[in-house]
């Protein structure tokens, strides 16, 4: 009013003020966000304490609409950068790479993935929107094709873990619900495995300094040292990836540790150790339990920011909770994020376990090739050079996972009734199959297979030697045919060798 009087130089009652009816671009107010939320223009405590901020995290699509405006307006109005780092995440698109938009009717509500929903309710949502009738029909048939059974209930943990898996820098996220469903199985696996593992440590009493106690106990087996070393590596990788904003890699590293190393390997290896409650096994059992407890506890904290709900629930169920002293946190949410201690890495244990894994794989593939049932244990002979010591130290683990009744290393005599698998240039494995295999049945099976493979090879040979082949066929195709022929030849040779082998074995049997 005072300004109006200045302009018109007349009495206030003579002045008519007519406010501009228009409004401001939304981005004008959004551009002020980093400091307006702190109470600017008032010099509030929040503004003093928290402005400027550190990180701005938003979608790539609004780099100019929003981020640039905040930087420009922040510099202009507060003379400071509103944040020092901007991280832009990619856009979530549908599985075919199309933008999720109301007009395509392909928008997926996170709640529909978290809670699951029926096809009917997906279709019903389209009707409630603002789409024209003929587009609704098109969207409906698209949705029915994509989600014939609706969307299964995946939970937020799986959705979060899935979205992170997609976060490979700069790439758009073509969200396929099937992949999220896959991570739901991971969450289930995490749940089941941890609950199963908790049984293993149900009589275990952790201490607040358990990891140090364990490492200094002198009771650890190679497998225990191995998994602690891998835990440290996973912690280091996840922290490093978070720091570098490589969220997909962080997700991968934590997933691999839990699935491949903890659940599929370590947990299997310690079963006999934990079940054996004899006095003689007490130390080994304690070390296995302590190692498992440390891995579960740290592993859950490692996963927590990615999978918040299940990890909290499981963490609360770990035995010993509430007995760990004054510093024990009430929730995984406020406990410290795991940090890597390089002193607990163990290269020797890791390489020892690598050798063990190779041998176990070899044992398993031998058993599979002779169709040995799970219930039957088999005897293995291992011929090896430089790995002899490493293997000797791991016989128990090889027996556990290789389903071995016995393992002999560099035995003077190996029976003739064996199946053979070459691990590498150092090591060969022999499995005694005496009495386990019906040679004649095996020979019949192999001959049937040979009967199918040989004609394919003959046909291909004929094709290649036909007149005009050299001139008319592209180099690419020629190359492909040669590869195919080599493959078939190898298969034929292998089958023939196997038949010969069984024939001689069956001869041995008769003798």
Partner 1 sequence: MNNCIVSCVSQTEKGFLIQNILISIKGTDHAGIATQTIVEKMLMKETGQTRHDLGREKFVEKIWEWKEDYGGKITNQLRSLGSSVDWSRERFTMDKTCNKAVVEAFNLMYEKGLLYRDMRLGNWSCALKSAISDIEVDYIELEGRTFLEVKSHKGNKNDKNGKYEFGVLTSFAYPVEDSDEKLIVATTRLETMLGDTAVAIHPEDDRYKHLHGKHVIHPFNGRRIPIITDSELVDMSFGTGAVKITPAHDPNDYECGKRHNLEFITVLTPDGAINHNGSQFEGIMRYDARVAVEEALNEKGLYIGKEPNKMRLGICSRSGDILEPMITPQWYVNCDNMAKRACDVVRNGQLKILPEENEKTWFYWLDNIRDWCVSRQLWWGHQIPAWFVTKKGENLSKNDMENNGRWVVSRTEEVSRSGFERANSDRACWVYRLTLVHHCNVGCDEESTRYSQVCSRRDCS
- 5-44: contacts with partner 1 (CB under 8 A): 7-8, 10, 14-30, 32-37, 39-42
Read off the DSSP letter of residue 61: G
The closest of 252, 244, 292 to 271, measured between CA atoms, is: 292
Rg (CA), the chain: 33
- 69-98: contacts with partner 1 (CB under 8 A): 71-73, 75-77, 80-81, 83-90, 92
In degrees, to the nearest 5, what angle opens at C-alpha 486 toward C-alphas 484 and 492?
105
378 — phi, psi (to 5°)?
A: -125, 155
- 204-243: contacts with partner 1 (CB under 8 A): 239, 242-243
- 272-301: contacts with partner 1 (CB under 8 A): none
Which pair of structure tokens corresponds to residue 393?
């130290």
- 373-432: contacts with partner 1 (CB under 8 A): none
Please, which residue, 62 or 436, has the CB nearer to partner 1?
Answer: 62
> Of 4, 482, 483, 497, which one interacts with partner 1 (CB under 8 A)?
4
Helix ranges (H only) for 32-80 are 33-36, 45-50, 69-78
Q: Is residue 163 part of the contact set for partner 1 (CB under 8 A)?
A: yes
Q: Is residue 369 part of the contact set for partner 1 (CB under 8 A)?
A: no
- 120-159: contacts with partner 1 (CB under 8 A): 130, 156-157, 159
CB 166, min distance to partner 1, A: 9
Q: Is residue 327 part of the contact set for partner 1 (CB under 8 A)?
A: no
> Of 186, 247, 255, 381, which one interacts with partner 1 (CB under 8 A)?
247
> Of 122, 139, 151, 164, which one interacts with partner 1 (CB under 8 A)?
164
Q: Is residue 59 part of the contact set for partner 1 (CB under 8 A)?
A: yes
- 449-508: contacts with partner 1 (CB under 8 A): none
Please, which residue, 130 or 202, has the CB nearer to partner 1?
Answer: 130
Which pair of structure tokens corresponds to residue 431?
């499995």
Asked if residue 52 has a cis previous peptide bond (ω within 30° of 0), the answer is: yes
> Of 98, 106, 111, 267, which one interacts with partner 1 (CB under 8 A)?
111
Q: Which residues pair with 72 in a beta bridge?
A: none
Cα distance between residue 471 and residue 448, in whole Å? 37
- Determine whether 12 is exposed, middle or buried from the number of CB atoms within 10 Å of its CB (0-12, 13-18, 19+): exposed
Confirm if 4 and 15 have CB atoms less than 8 A apart: yes
CA distances (Å), origin 45, targets 1, 73, 461: 32, 21, 84
From the list 160-168, 218-226, 429-437, 460-468, the region that binds partner 1 by CB under 8 A is 160-168
Q: Is residue 48 part of the contact set for partner 1 (CB under 8 A)?
A: yes
> Of 119, 142, 207, 245, which one interacts with partner 1 (CB under 8 A)?
245
Q: Is residue 160 part of the contact set for partner 1 (CB under 8 A)?
A: yes
Q: Is residue 191 part of the contact set for partner 1 (CB under 8 A)?
A: no
Which pair of structure tokens corresponds to residue 79?
């003379």
Binding footprint of partner 1, residue count (CB under 8 A): 107
Please, which residue, 336 or 475, has the CB nearer to partner 1?
Answer: 336
Residue 473: helix, strand or coil by DSSP? coil
Please, which residue, 164 or 214, has the CB nearer to partner 1?
Answer: 164
Confirm if 259 and 186 have CB atoms less than 8 A apart: yes
- Determine whether 95 is exposed, middle or buried from the number of CB atoms within 10 Å of its CB (0-12, 13-18, 19+): middle
Please, which residue, 340 or 393, has the CB nearer to partner 1?
Answer: 340
Q: Is residue 184 part of the contact set for partner 1 (CB under 8 A)?
A: no
């Amino acid at each position: 009013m005072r300004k109006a009087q200045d302009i018109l130089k007349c009495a206030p009652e003579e002045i008519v003020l007519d406010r501009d009816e228009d409004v401001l671009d939304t981005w004008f107010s959004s551009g002020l966000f980093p400091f307006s939320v702190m109470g600017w223009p008032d010099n509030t405590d929040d503004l003093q304490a928290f402005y400027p901020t550190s990180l701005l995290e938003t979608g790539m699509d609004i780099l100019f609409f929003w981020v640039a405006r905040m930087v420009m307006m922040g510099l202009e109005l507060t003379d400071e950068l509103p944040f020092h780092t901007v991280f832009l995440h990619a856009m979530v698109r549908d599985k075919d790479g199309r933008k999720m938009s109301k007009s395509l009717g392909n928008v997926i509500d996170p709640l529909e993935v978290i809670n699951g929903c029926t096809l009917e309710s997906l279709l019903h949502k389209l009707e409630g929107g603002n789409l024209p009738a003929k587009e609704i029909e098109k969207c409906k048939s698209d949705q029915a094709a994509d989600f014939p059974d609706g969307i299964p209930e995946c939970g937020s943990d799986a959705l979060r873990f899935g979205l992170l898996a997609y976060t490979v820098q700069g790439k758009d996220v073509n969200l396929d619900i099937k992949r999220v469903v896959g991570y739901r199985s991971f969450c289930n696996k995490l749940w089941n495995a941890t609950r199963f593992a908790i049984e293993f440590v149900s009589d275990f009493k952790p201490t607040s300094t358990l990891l140090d106690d364990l490492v200094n106990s002198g009771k650890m087996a190679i497998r225990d040292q191995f998994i602690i070393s891998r835990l440290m590596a996973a912690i280091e990788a996840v922290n490093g990836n978070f720091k570098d904003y490589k969220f997909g890699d962080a997700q991968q590293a934590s997933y691999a540790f839990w699935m491949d190393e903890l659940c599929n390997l370590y947990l299997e290896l310690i079963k006999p150790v934990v079940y054996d409650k004899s006095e003689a096994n007490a130390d080994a059992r304690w070390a296995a339990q302590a190692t498992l407890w440390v891995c579960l506890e740290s592993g859950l904290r490692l996963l927590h920011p990615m999978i918040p709900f299940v990890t909290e629930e499981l963490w609360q169920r770990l035995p010993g909770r509430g007995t760990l002293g004054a510093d024990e946190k009430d929730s995984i949410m406020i406990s410290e994020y795991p940090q890597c201690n390089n002193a607990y890495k163990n290269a020797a244990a890791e390489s020892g376990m690598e050798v063990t894994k190779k041998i176990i794989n070899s044992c398993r593939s031998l058993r599979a090739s002779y169709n040995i049932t799970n219930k039957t244990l088999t005897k293995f002979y291992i011929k090896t050079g430089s790995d002899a010591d490493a293997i000797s130290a791991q016989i128990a683990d090889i027996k556990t996972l290789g389903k071995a009744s016995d393992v002999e290393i560099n035995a003077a005599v190996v029976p003739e009734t064996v199946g053979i698998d070459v691990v590498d240039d150092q090591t060969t494995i022999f499995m005694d199959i005496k009495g386990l295999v019906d040679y004649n049945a095996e020979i019949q099976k192999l001959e049937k297979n040979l009967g199918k493979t040989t004609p394919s090879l003959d046909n291909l040979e004929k094709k290649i030697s036909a007149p005009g082949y050299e001139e008319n066929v592209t180099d690419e195709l020629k190359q492909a045919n040669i590869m195919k022929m080599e493959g078939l030849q190898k298969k034929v040779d292998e089958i023939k060798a196997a038949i010969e082998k069984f024939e001689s074995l069956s001869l041995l049997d008769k003798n």
